[in-house]
């Protein structure tokens, strides 16, 4: 898949590729909403691999919405994008899947002065509680919410999900190396579920200084090619 991205500013990274592969493992179908789509990478890869997906996306930054629309057209994927803040979004029909690589860096750390980076990275732009509340309002009963987040905030994530009767049912932590703590967590949530949590085996990014075999296979399945440019 060919993906155009901004020449400068935020670009997708391994988090998006890992999340795409995690989402695929649940064989998504029906109406899918990609929240904070950026250049469209996650939703477009998922739609490419799952022909029963009807893809929509929401992106509040005009430049990213334009990149995502171009990438959908170039890759011949049907795509409806909503240019607005997710917290202001309304839809009566509701969704079968909501997927997202949301901004999750704490604003307690040094904040970028670049507007595109600031909106894409820092959770002050999409705090957990209003984020999950809006997700719960937009999901059909027993439907799916799949996202990734900073692993160190996993306890808070679970507590906030429970407020809105959202249950984490499948979880996978991502570790840079076998002797390093988790840096990312990928979470599959069901709306109204009472299931216990299934914690999958960890995903290890590197073995010595090379990608692990599993990560190489994930990138091969994604088969994405990025081109940085101005539009």
What is the residue extent of each domain of the chain? Answer: 2-223
- Quick check: 120 pLDDT over 50? no
Confidence of residue 130 (pLDDT cuts 50, 70, 90): very high
Distance CA 30, CA 53 (A): 5
pLDDT, greater one: 190 or 126:
190
Share of the chain above pLDDT 70, in %: 90
Dihedral, CA of residue 2, residue 146, residue 158 and residue 164, to nearest 10? 130
For 60-81, what is the HEC assignment? Answer: CCHHHHHHHHHHHHHCCCCCEE
Strand 2-6 with 225-229, pairing = parallel
The two structure tokens encoding residue 152: 């160190």
Round to whole Å and give the CA distance between 53 and 72: 14
**Looking at residue 135, what DSSP letter applies?**
H
Task: Express each pLDDT in 212-226 by its tens digit.
Answer: 999 999 999 999 999
The residue-averaged pLDDT of 39-63 equals 97
Q: Is the pLDDT of residue 132 over 50?
A: yes
Q: Kindly state the tokens that stand for 48.
A: 């490419």
- Mean of the pLDDT values across residues 103-129? 62
Of 105, 166, 110, 180, the C-alpha closest to 138 is 166
Task: Indicate the average pLDDT of the chain.
Answer: 92
Asked if pLDDT for residue 109 goes beyond 60, the answer is: no
d(CA 227, CA 231): 12
> What pTM does this model have?
0.92
Structure tokens at 125: 């732009």
pLDDT band of residue 10 (cuts 50, 70, 90) is confident
Tell me the C-alpha distance between 219 and 104, whole Å: 23
> What pLDDT was estimated at residue 114?
52
- CB neighbours of 181 closer than 8 A, spacing ≥ 6? 151, 175
Residues facing residue 229 across a β-bridge = 6
Q: Is the dihedral of CA 58, 60, 62, 64 positive or negative?
A: negative
Domain range 2-223, its CATH number among 3.10.310.70, 3.40.47.10, 3.40.640.10, 3.40.50.150? 3.40.50.150
Contact (Cβ atoms closer than 8 angstroms) between residue 199 and residue 151: no
Q: Which pLDDT does position 118 carry in this prediction?
A: 46
Return the pLDDT at 11. Answer: 86
């Amino acid at each position: 898949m060919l993906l155009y991205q901004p020449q400068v500013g935020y670009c997708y990274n391994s988090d998006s590729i890992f999340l795409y592969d995690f989402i695929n493992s649940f064989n998504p179908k029906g109406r899918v909403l990609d929240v904070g789509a950026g250049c469209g990478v996650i939703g477009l890869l998922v739609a490419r691999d799952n022909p029963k997906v009807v893809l929509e996306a929401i992106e509040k930054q005009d430049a990213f919405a334009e990149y995502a629309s171009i990438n959908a057209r170039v890759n011949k994927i049907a795509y409806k994008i909503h240019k607005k803040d997710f917290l202001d979004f309304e839809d009566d029909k509701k969704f079968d899947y909501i997927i997202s690589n949301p901004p999750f860096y704490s604003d307690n750390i040094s904040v970028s002065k670049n507007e595109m980076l600031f909106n894409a990275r820092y959770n002050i732009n999409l705090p957990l509680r209003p984020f999950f509340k809006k997700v719960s309002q937009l999901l059909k009963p027993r439907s799916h919410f799949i996202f990734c987040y900073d692993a160190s905030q996993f306890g808070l994530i679970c507590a906030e999900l429970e407020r809105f009767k959202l249950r984490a049912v499948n979880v996978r932590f991502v570790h840079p190396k076998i002797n390093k703590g988790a840096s990312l967590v990928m979470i599959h949530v069901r709306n109204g579920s009472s299931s216990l949590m299934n914690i999958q085996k960890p995903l290890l990014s590197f073995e010595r200084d090379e990608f692990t075999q599993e990560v190489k296979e994930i990138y091969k399945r994604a088969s994405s090619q990025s081109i940085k440019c101005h539009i």
